[in-house]
Structure 1
Amino acid sequence: MTGKAMLNRRTFLYGSAAAAGGVMLGACSSGGGSTSGGGPKKQSGGGGAAAGGKGSNTKALPKPSKFQESPLLAEQVKAGKLDAIEKRLPENPFVIPHKWVKPGQYGGDLMMISPSATGGAIDASNKEYMYGHTLLRWLNDGLAITGGLVESWEHNADASEWTLHFRKGLRWSDGHPWSTDDIMFWWTDLVLNTDHSETPPDECKSGTGKVATLSAVDANTLSMKFDAPAPLTADRLAMWVKGTNGNGPKWMVPAHFAKQYHPKYNKKVGKSWASAGGLFETNVDFSRNPKCPTMTGWMLKSQKEGRSIVWERNPYYHCVMPNGDQLPYVDTLNMSVVQDKQVGKLQMQQGKLDYVHGPFFGVALPDVSAMKQSQKTSKLDVLLWDGGSGTGSVFFFNYDHKDPKLRKLIREPKFRKALSMATKRADMQKAIYFNTGEQTTGTLSPKAKEYKVNDQGKQVYQQWRDSALKYDPEAAKKLLDEIGVVDKDGDGYREFPDGSKLKFTLDFPADTTDDHKQKNSYLERDWKAIGIKAQQNPVAPQGWGDLWNNGKLTSNTAWEVGDGPNHLVYPQWLVPIENSRYCPLEGSWYNVIGTPDEGKQLNVDPFKRTPPRMEPEKGGPIDQLWKIYDKSKVEPDEMKRTQMVWEMIKIHIKYGPFFQGSVANTPQVVLARQGLMNIPKRENLAQGGFVNPWIHPTPAVYDPETFYWDKPDQHKV
């Protein structure tokens, strides 16, 4: 499964508890490191002077004058089994820039929980703990970008040529030198290999959609040349955690290890990719095979499928504390694999776990009360970070519904606006979200850069948030009357303008979580009050995608909009450019533009095309969004791109809501055992946290490798 596919299916529990108190939008810290346009840009990663406080520094910390390491590694060095620490680290290690961290103690183990995985690999969600393979990193809840494996980077004036300078002296976990050959192996022998399933990721495409030319200038320098400006390259290089399936593109493979499983380099594994592919994917995956080298802070030690996963310290990890301590501090991560979420929650309450990142195991804020009651036994403190959602549980119609009469009504802005104004979000906020978050018509994440840049950005956000927010059922009725959706037969429910019965379904995958169903119940109630009949409709998850893509489902009621840290890095909610959101067939049309299929099947029914697709109405809102978006993709100036985003938002306000939110930015739960240090609290984070989107991977962005025990000897497995 690709990283994009994983994000498209990610949903969360969005409840919260009264004990959580109100959640306000976090104040932003200064940005930095993001592309701003103008002349050539050279940027570097790191942090400023280390200090306690909020957020993360954005200027490179000085290289520590000396380094310290785990006593376990020091013993291996003394025994001649391991190189000295100075030889294991790159010339300029990545120095942790977070203001809340302080030097810790080595040792101890961390007991964690993992959702049940498939295919012998660790569940993709748990890879969100490790940022080691990512070229660049997001800081300050997405407001800034810093280095990762890349130490500095630059681009030309129009952002069509990028040069990445990697840290000299990087090593894989087996001690073998890392080089750009490991990227070129991935690029040439996997991505450009038509027999392999990997395709070029977004960060390797220009604004026109054409694939870049990648070349290794030397062992530590990579060149990316595009046919047109590619201004979002840095943002997209910071996305995901990368390195293995399920969390974004790999971007690198340990070539010295992987070649033995590739048919091009070893005919013994098979003469073709068809015969060798399975062997390659299983063995060249650091989350499945302990022998496969990795760049992450912990490396796989052992795995008992369906039972446990153990990770141990990577002695060559390239990240250090400002005082020179090589990370990670904790010796091992011990993940207990549990299928039943209730069993997992019982383990938490019984004190069998040390750290739980709530969204990954269904720990929502409605669980806070029970977790607080069991604190004497569990020793788990309850922390709340902002989720960053722009909607909470969302509702949106299938704008490309197969039934032409229903499709015409769905596309009527007054119809959708009426339903939004008839929704009593205050009841949802109280019952589902325990009076946290903020009621919203539905936007992208309130933490997005475009809302923080200046007062105009703040106003644009508020205008979108409030555009169809006010609870006003009488005004909603008037809108419906204006478009001829009235009760013609006196049964208490409104009909289509032609007098035929009107009833639509609130569709959701049958395995969805209770918060979505609870929200749907309020929609049924509120819309009935204005004469609109709606009924919840669980759908088999296995068939959901095909039904939606073919316009056979009416709505999606079990998702959320949480994308960021800016609107353009993952713009699918702002602009319909793929088939999983509110315009599935028009999104598919956009996807074939510029491909050999663009001019094909024009005389075929849109729902019978392969894939099903239809062209937007000329001059209509989708057509308008596309035209602005296409300009934004090749605009190197960040402020001009921001203004284009605002223009697209105005289209949402005028013709929307295309998706209807409930309550935005509700908290997410983190459970941490007392004595586990360097875990940030909400007030430490630049914007209070930004948990929900996988492209801004949490907790990886907060570097769990810095976690340490105040008394390590008391935490041994």
Structure 2
Amino acid sequence: MKLWRKISRGVAISTLICAIPAGVVRAEVPYFQHSVVSGFLPPMESRLPKNPLVVTPGKDQVIGQYGGKLKTLVGSPSDVKLMFVNGYARLVGYTEDFEIKPDILASLDVTDGRTFVMKLRQGHKWSDGHPFTSEDFRYWWEDIANNPKLFPAGPPAELLVNGELPKVEFPDPLTVIYSWSVPNPNFLANLASAAPLLIYRPSHYLKTHHIDYIDRSKLSPKQKIKLKSWAANHNRLDNLYKFDNPELPTLQPWRNTTPAPANRFVGKRNPYFHRVDPNGQQLPYIDELIYTVSEGKLIPAKAASGDTDLQARGLRLQDATFLKENETRSNYKVLLWETARGSHFTLYPNLNSQDPTWRKLMRDVRFRRALSLAINREEINDILFFGLAVEGNNAVQKQSPFYTEDLRTKWATFDIDKANSLLDEMGLTTRNNDGTRMMPNGEPLVIVIETAGEETEQSDILELINESWEQIGIEVFTKPSQRAVFRNRIFSGETVMSVWSGFEDGLPTAQSSPADRAPTSQTSYQWPKWGQYFETKGKSGEPVDLPEAQQLFDLYKRWLVTTDDDEKAEIWREMLNIHVDQQFTIGVIGAILQPIVVSNKLRNVPREGIYNWDPGAQFGIYHPDLFWFED
């Protein structure tokens, strides 16, 4: 699997534009014909950029036709952001081969891996028809990212290289330049992410809510009072990624038209979207997306009843047989795509737990190793995954050049005797009448494992883990909660242990960023406060105070500055080995196949694919704007 390769000196990356046949007259999108005739919208030629991105259908894809409403089910109202994720319009984006190419950008010129000259498309417009120019980048950089009221910690930590922020220039309406004194190998990958670094905003819309652009002389006394909370209001409206503000213009293929909260969200096609097919037809083909919120455990049954046209969210490998049985009745097919995470199911000991007793236990590597050794992964695989999963650590999959058997199996084989020996060595030898070990504070060793409450599969795995952990004198109590509550408890240190999927990029190369293997983000649930400290430049969280974690951070900093591929690869190997030896996260099973339910009327969904968050954006790299309905 190829990821972004080394950025060489003076490389110009331009979009591959397939020539539109001479004499082709672009027919108006039927969905917009009435609006064009009535004068509400300009004709297609005036809505498209001068040089639109021509997207060539890939494997299993053909030229499509306009029309239709695509129905899908989501687990919560916050999943409306998947319109943004799967729409996958990015300044630069991954191809199906996981190479990075310009998308929203017309071209990109990279010098020495440290200077990035970005050219915009002439005539490109936001979804409300307002020009998309370098002013939208300037506004974000000067008026948002560097405004202490909106970004108290300063610009995003992703833009820091050795503590240095970029020099940002806007020489003309179609040019934006980001530069550092040293290479920034993460910059393009951050821009191409499923949840990308968004370095632009619709300035024409947000300026009306920014104190620096509001004419106070025209405000009433009541409005002046409200102006005191302008920053909170601005942040509430500025939700390009969350996608829950229908008034906020977008560059995605569909624009959300439903305000939150809601249980049904409608995405309507963006009349100014910048892509066309080789015949000059403006994309997307599909007119509307319908996202209906459903209880997670009901999604497989609803999918089997034909209530969805494209569904992966909420489906598990265990559902595949049931879904296959209903293919003919409900007129769909079931595809099985590969996944690429380091691990499908992972335990996260919280090394930043507020409780001093638990913090000491979780930071003892013998405790983490014992927990891993006491998991019967083979049993979990056989019972829940038909023996089709790969048992082992949260590391890398076999397709990665860094894969070794040791990375998969170290401290991850089932060895109750060794686990008990490690716990005894720690001094946890006293047990109560139930056989449960006692902690130093005199309480039974009962680990509360918190989940987001979205997957019954997690409860099933935890039940099996509880059975094997009882053999080492440890009990498990599972605590589900809503995702937002779940994450906030982790970030604040209230959790002892949590469950989530493993590292998103389980197929890294030397050029892939190892940032998530170091304490650089609070969303790393094993060390959220160390991640906060990095992201806020020391203004919140806690500094790293564990030598092995600091070693990971130092290795990551070395990876950032070196331009030698062999050294980058060696850094990766060292970081991976530290992780499996220290068991900072405890992987259980991986390489799970993801069921995809696809209506028989829906075309251009590849029969084979990789279903991954980042890189991949779920369906994003396969261009959902090319999906279409037959008849």
**Does the pair score TM above 0.5?**
yes
Code of the residue aligned with 1:101 in structure 2: it is Q
User: What residue number does 1:332 align with?
Assistant: 288
SS in 1 for 2:208: helix
User: What residue number does 1:575 align with?
Assistant: 518
User: What residue number does 1:252 align with?
Assistant: 200
Q: Does 1:351 align with 2:306?
A: yes
Distance (Å, rounded) in 2 between the aligned partners of 1:560 and 1:176? 41
Is the contact made by 1:387 and 1:691 (CA closer than 8 Å) also made in structure 2? yes
Superposed displacement of residue 304, structure 1 = 8.9
Superposed displacement of residue 569, structure 1 = 6.6
User: What residue number does 2:410 align with?
Assistant: 467
Superposed displacement of residue 109, structure 1 = 2.5
User: What residue number does 1:666 align with?
Assistant: 592
Is the contact made by 1:36 and 1:639 (CA closer than 8 Å) also made in structure 2? no
Superposed displacement of residue 232, structure 1 = 1.2
Change in Cα spacing, 1:502 to 1:441, as seen in structure 2 (3 Å) is: farther
SS in 2 for 1:458: coil
Q: Does 1:183 align with 2:137?
A: yes
User: What residue number does 1:680 align with?
Assistant: 606
CA deviation profile, 1:253-301 (whole Å, cap 9, x unmatched): 3333443343433335755754445665676667556554322212345
Code of the residue aligned with 1:316 in structure 2: it is Y
Mapping 1:139-178, distance limit 5 Å: 139-140=95-96, 143-157=98-112, 159-178=113-132
Change in Cα spacing, 1:429 to 1:38, as seen in structure 2 (3 Å) is: same
SS in 1 for 2:73: strand
User: What residue number does 1:36 align with?
Assistant: 6
User: What residue number does 2:161 align with?
Assistant: 207
Is the contact made by 1:205 and 1:226 (CA closer than 8 Å) also made in structure 2? no
Distance (Å, rounded) in 2 between the aligned partners of 1:539 and 1:575? 27
Pick the aligned partner of 1:631 from 555, 558, 566.
558
Identity of aligned residues (%): 23
User: What residue number does 1:613 align with?
Assistant: 542
Distance (Å, rounded) in 2 between the aligned partners of 1:400 and 1:173? 43
User: What residue number does 1:690 align with?
Assistant: 611
Distance (Å, rounded) in 2 between the aligned partners of 1:346 and 1:406? 40
Change in Cα spacing, 1:656 to 1:63, as seen in structure 2 (3 Å) is: farther
Superposed displacement of residue 345, structure 1 = 5.1
Mapping 1:360-399, distance limit 5 Å: 362-399=314-351
User: What residue number does 1:446 align with?
Assistant: 397
Code of the residue aligned with 1:297 in structure 2: it is P
SS in 2 for 1:210: coil
Change in Cα spacing, 1:102 to 1:422, as seen in structure 2 (3 Å) is: same
Is the contact made by 2:75 and 2:454 (CA closer than 8 Å) also made in structure 1? no
User: What residue number does 2:582 align with?
Assistant: 656
Is the contact made by 2:72 and 2:308 (CA closer than 8 Å) also made in structure 1? yes
Code of the residue aligned with 2:379 in structure 1: it is D
User: What residue number does 2:53 align with?
Assistant: 94
Moved more, 412-421 or 474-483: 474-483
SS in 1 for 2:459: helix
Distance (Å, rounded) in 1 between the aligned partners of 2:161 and 2:9? 19
Code of the residue aligned with 2:462 in structure 1: it is N
Q: Does 1:536 align with 2:477?
A: yes
Is the contact made by 1:111 and 1:353 (CA closer than 8 Å) also made in structure 2? yes
Is the contact made by 1:504 and 1:554 (CA closer than 8 Å) also made in structure 2? no
User: What residue number does 1:704 align with?
Assistant: 624
Superposed displacement of residue 420, structure 1 = 2.0
Is the contact made by 1:116 and 1:306 (CA closer than 8 Å) also made in structure 2? no
Is the contact made by 1:203 and 1:237 (CA closer than 8 Å) also made in structure 2? no
Superposed displacement of residue 224, structure 1 = 0.7
User: What residue number does 1:458 align with?
Assistant: 403
**Corresponding pairs, count:** 617
Is the contact made by 1:155 and 1:163 (CA closer than 8 Å) also made in structure 2? yes
User: What residue number does 2:458 align with?
Assistant: 516
Distance (Å, rounded) in 2 between the aligned partners of 1:177 and 1:547? 42
Superposed displacement of residue 484, structure 1 = 5.4
User: What residue number does 1:111 align with?
Assistant: 71
SS in 2 for 1:129: helix
Mapping 1:206-245, distance limit 5 Å: 206-240=160-194
CA-based RMSD of the aligned residues comes to 3.6
Is the contact made by 1:37 and 1:638 (CA closer than 8 Å) also made in structure 2? no
CA deviation profile, 1:199-237 (whole Å, cap 9, x unmatched): 766586232233223221212111112244312111111
Code of the residue aligned with 1:156 in structure 2: it is T
Code of the residue aligned with 2:52 in structure 1: it is P
Change in Cα spacing, 1:321 to 1:342, as seen in structure 2 (3 Å) is: same
Change in Cα spacing, 1:164 to 1:564, as seen in structure 2 (3 Å) is: farther
SS in 1 for 2:479: strand
CA deviation profile, 1:321-348 (whole Å, cap 9, x unmatched): 234332111222233x335345655543
Distance (Å, rounded) in 2 between the aligned partners of 1:249 and 1:400? 27
Code of the residue aligned with 2:66 in structure 1: it is Y
CA deviation profile, 1:622-642 (whole Å, cap 9, x unmatched): 222122112122234454323
Pick the aligned partner of 2:266 from 299, 310, 313.
310
Distance (Å, rounded) in 2 between the aligned partners of 1:198 and 1:565? 35
CA deviation profile, 1:346-395 (whole Å, cap 9, x unmatched): 54344343222x22xx2333333443343344323222222322222212
Superposed displacement of residue 703, structure 1 = 1.3
Distance (Å, rounded) in 1 between the aligned partners of 2:430 and 2:236? 61
Distance (Å, rounded) in 2 between the aligned partners of 1:632 and 1:254? 34
SS in 2 for 1:627: helix
Distance (Å, rounded) in 2 between the aligned partners of 1:566 and 1:282? 36
Superposed displacement of residue 146, structure 1 = 1.1
Superposed displacement of residue 704, structure 1 = 1.0
SS in 2 for 1:184: helix
User: What residue number does 1:16 align with?
Assistant: none
Change in Cα spacing, 1:423 to 1:675, as seen in structure 2 (3 Å) is: same
SS in 1 for 2:618: coil
Code of the residue aligned with 2:331 in structure 1: it is K
Q: What stretches of structure 2 of length at least 5 have no aligned partner? A: none
CA deviation profile, 1:555-583 (whole Å, cap 9, x unmatched): 22355433467488775641123445223
Distance (Å, rounded) in 1 between the aligned partners of 2:388 and 2:87? 30
